[in-house]
Amino acid sequence: MSNLNPFPINEYLKPKYICSRNKETSEIIKLLHKGENIQIQARDGLGKTTLVKNVIYKLEKESEFFTIYFDALNIYSPHQFLFKFYGLLVEHLKKKIGKKKSKVLKDVLDQNKLNSFTNEELVSEIKKLVPMLEFLKKSTIIAIDNLYYLQKKIVDEIENSVVDLFSNSDKVIFVIAGMTNDNFSGFTNFKLFPIPREKYSKFILAQFKNDGIKISDKLISHILNWSKIDFFTTQLICNRLWKLQKKNIKKQHIEDVFNEIVTEYETVIKSTRNLLTEIQWKLFLVIALNEEGVQLTSLAVINKYSLNAPSSVNTALKALLDKKLIYKDKFYKVSDVLLVKCLEKLG
């Protein structure tokens, strides 16, 4: 058995640890070679981050582009985004231009001096970096990940200020990942879909088998039923099972991992509840506990769950969508599979 867990959850290793994303990776790289800005659209939990990092890995192997990866997960304001973005660009330029041509960087400010700058002033400083990026021999791919979690005002700042600055550049190409509702002007939309069940099942079997671990097709099916083939949830379960170092995985091992994960996740319920009004929370529970979907604005459902008037339901739905807590497929569904599992456990 190797020392490397073949089911990474918060890191990227190599393409062989990714299930069934070769086609998507190749398609995105082809679009980038054409100079197209790309927006990867998908609901939460489908592996957008892993796909973006796989694209970057492949591009760096090709050596035809420079790459910058910006994880926006913990960005809470437009100023914070602009400040960090400027720092990443400067760091990138210093590495690629080198000391011999450092005169190109003479106008670059020390990042510590930018704390007191307004958003407009930060945009102005970023603008000064555009010709420096044009100076580089290769085009630069800027991947901005996890926009799914950002407030709309931050997303608007990114589109109206940052992306707009590079709109006429032939040497800077963007990959934006994480949103489902907002469309960036001039970007090619790339929709990411769930990994096919059969392919994921074979992948899981092979990864365990390569490390001498036996697991039956029936038990893999049990895992996928529970995780709803959600990428993060499935990876987390398999990651924990591999850590058990059992040569033969039994159903009880899987049930123990399910319970362990749900127990750890219960604190998320409280934080989610604190984000919502009473009507929003009620509606969230209705959606979470009715997997097959219900007509949320029907009088029968409103009366059964005390949801007030249809107009209140529609307002609450919009709020839940804006907070990215739900998404619409055939019916409204909760984005976070583990949160649903916690709620099911609590009844």
pLDDT in tens, 244-299: 999 999 999 999 999 999 999 888 898 999 989 999 999 999 999 887 778 888 88
The pLDDT value recorded for residue 158 is 82
The model's pTM is 0.86
The pLDDT value recorded for residue 150 is 66
Overall average pLDDT of the 299-321 stretch: 89
Q: Do domains 21-191 and 267-347 have the same CATH topology?
A: no
The pLDDT value recorded for residue 102 is 58
Overall average pLDDT of the 219-245 stretch: 95
The pLDDT value recorded for residue 20 is 80
pLDDT band at 331 (very low <50, low <70, confident <90, very high): confident
Overall average pLDDT of the 312-317 stretch: 92
Mean pLDDT of the chain: 88
Cα separation, 199 vs 196, in Å, equals 5
Question: Among all chains, which residue has been given the structure tokens 């890191």?
Answer: 11
**Sequence-distant (≥ 6) Cβ neighbours of residue 127 within 8 angstroms:** 165
The pLDDT value recorded for residue 27 is 96
CA 119 to chain centre: 26
- Asked if residue 84 has pLDDT above 80, the reply is yes
**Residue-wise over 34-50: b if at least 16 C-beta within 10 A, else e?**
eebbbbbbbbbbbbbbb
- Asked if residue 103 has pLDDT above 90, the reply is no
The pLDDT value recorded for residue 173 is 94
**Sequence-distant (≥ 6) Cβ neighbours of residue 310 within 8 angstroms:** 297, 302
Cα separation, 184 vs 291, in Å, equals 32
Q: Kind and range of the H or E element at 189?
A: strand 188-191
- Percent of the chain surpassing pLDDT 90: 48
Question: Among all chains, which residue has been given the structure tokens 């497929």?
Answer: 329
The pLDDT value recorded for residue 153 is 75
Termini Cα distance of the chain: 39
Range with the lowest mean pLDDT among 47-61, 64-78, 80-94, 136-150? 136-150
Range with the lowest mean pLDDT among 6-15, 75-84, 142-151, 252-261? 142-151
Do 134 and 66 touch, CB atoms closer than 8 A? no
- Percent of the chain surpassing pLDDT 70: 94
Question: Residue 60 — φ and ψ, nearest 5°?
Answer: -70, -30
pLDDT band at 109 (very low <50, low <70, confident <90, very high): low
Could you tell me the residue ranges of all domains in the chain?
21-191, 267-347
The pLDDT value recorded for residue 100 is 53
Overall average pLDDT of the 201-206 stretch: 96
The pLDDT value recorded for residue 185 is 83
Do 139 and 170 touch, CB atoms closer than 8 A? yes
Overall average pLDDT of the 128-150 stretch: 86
- Asked if residue 206 has pLDDT above 90, the reply is yes
Handedness of CA 175, 180, 182, 183 (dihedral sign): positive
Overall average pLDDT of the 191-215 stretch: 94
CATH class of 267-347: mainly alpha
CATH class of 21-191: alpha beta
pLDDT band at 54 (very low <50, low <70, confident <90, very high): very high
Cα separation, 317 vs 101, in Å, equals 55
Question: Among all chains, which residue has been given the structure tokens 């092979």?
Answer: 206
Looking only at the bridges linking them, the beta strands covering 38-41 and 172-177 are parallel
Q: Kind and range of the H or E element at 40?
A: strand 38-41
